[in-house]
Amino acid sequence: MTQKAPSISVFFPCYNDSKSIGVLVESSISLLPKLTEDYEVIVIDDGSKDDSRDVLNKLAKKYEKLKLVFHEKNRGYGGALQSGFKTASKDLVFYTDGDGQYDMNEFPLLLNLMTKDVNFVNGIKMDRRDAEYRVVAGNLYKFITRWAFWLPIYDVDCDFRLIRKELVKKLKLTSSSGSICVELVKKAERAGGKFRQTSVHHYERKWGKSQFFRLDRIAKTYKDLLALWIRLMVLRK
C-alpha cells in the first residue's frame, strides 16, 4: 500500500520583491502537484512600497491555491515569518525568501530527507552568491550565532527550510528582526526538533536590494540577538 504524501504549505516573505515573487509563486504551483495532492502557496507581503501587491493580486486571480497576507505596515522579517507560520495549515511547512536567491526546484531535496524520525530539514548554502562584504558579514554572523547559541545546524542564515507543522505549533516566536531564524532553530531544538541538513545552491540577486544589509537593520538584529541570548541561554526562558 502506497503511503499518502503529506500535505504541504509553502510560504514566501515578500518586501519590495515584485520582480521575483511571481517566478517563485509560479514555480511552486508547477512543482507541488507532482509531490502532493494537498498543498497551498502563501505570500506574506510585509508592507511593500513597490508594485508587489499588484503582481500578487493578479496571481491570486489566476491561482486558487495562492493565499495572500498583506501587512499594512512593515513588521520586519521576523514579523513576516510569524505571519507565515500562523497562516500555514498543512502537515509540512516550507519557506524561503521572496528575493529569488534560492531555487524552488531544489525543494524535493529537503522533502526526501523528511523521514519519520525527522521534523526539521535545513539547507546549507554551497557558495554564497553575494558581494564579498556580505559573504564576510554572513560568515561572521553564522559563526557567532552557532557557538553562542549552540545551534544544531551549520547554516542558520540559509532560509531554505522545511518543518513539520506539529513542531511549529510548539514554538512561540517573538523576534521581529532577522534574529528570528536563531530563535526558530533554538526553540525547535528545545521542543524536540530532529534535524537534517542538505546543500543547496544560492544565486545572485537579480532584482532589488537587500533590506537587511542596512546599518539600522544590522544594528537592530544584533541588539535583538543579544536580548535573545540572555533570554534563551542565560535565563533559559
User: Domains along the chain?
Assistant: 8-234 (3.90.550.10)
Record the cell numbers describing residue 182, joined without a space. 536563531
| Backbone φ/ψ region at 76: left (φ over 0), alpha (ψ -120 to 50), beta | left
d(CA 186, CA 122): 13
Contacts of residue 128, defined as CB under 8 A and 6 or more positions apart, other chains included, come to: 134, 135, 138, 202
- Residue 111: name the closest of 200, 219, 22, 183 by CA: 200
d(CA 223, CA 215): 12
Alpha-carbon torsion 145, 150, 155, 161, what sign? negative
pLDDT classification of 213: cutoffs 50, 70, 90: low
| pLDDT (0 to 100) of residue 208 | 60
3-state helix, strand, coil in the chain (%, to 5): 40, 20, 40
pTM of the model: 0.92
d(CA 149, CA 147): 5
| pLDDT (0 to 100) of residue 214 | 63
Side chain identity at residue 71, one-letter code: H
Percentage of the chain exceeding pLDDT 70: 93
- Whether residue 43 is predicted with pLDDT greater than 60 in this model: the reply is yes
pLDDT classification of 9: cutoffs 50, 70, 90: very high
d(CA 222, CA 230): 12
- Whether residue 211 is predicted with pLDDT greater than 60 in this model: the reply is no
**pLDDT 10s digits, 116-175:** 999 999 999 997 766 676 777 778 888 999 999 999 999 999 999 999 999 999 999 999
Mean pLDDT in residue range 16-38 = 96
What is the overall mean pLDDT for the chain?
92
| pLDDT (0 to 100) of residue 174 | 95
**Phi, psi (degrees; rounded to nearest 5) at 57:** -65, -35
**pLDDT 10s digits, 179-206:** 999 999 999 999 999 999 999 999 887 7
Under DSSP, is residue 181 helix (H, G, I), strand (E, B) or coil? helix
DSSP 8-state symbol, 188: H
Quote the radius of gyration of the chain (alpha carbons, Å). Answer: 17
pLDDT classification of 45: cutoffs 50, 70, 90: very high
Please list the alpha-helical segments (H only) found in the chain. 21-31, 52-62, 76-87, 107-113, 132-148, 165-168, 180-190, 215-229
- Whether residue 44 is predicted with pLDDT greater than 80 in this model: the reply is yes
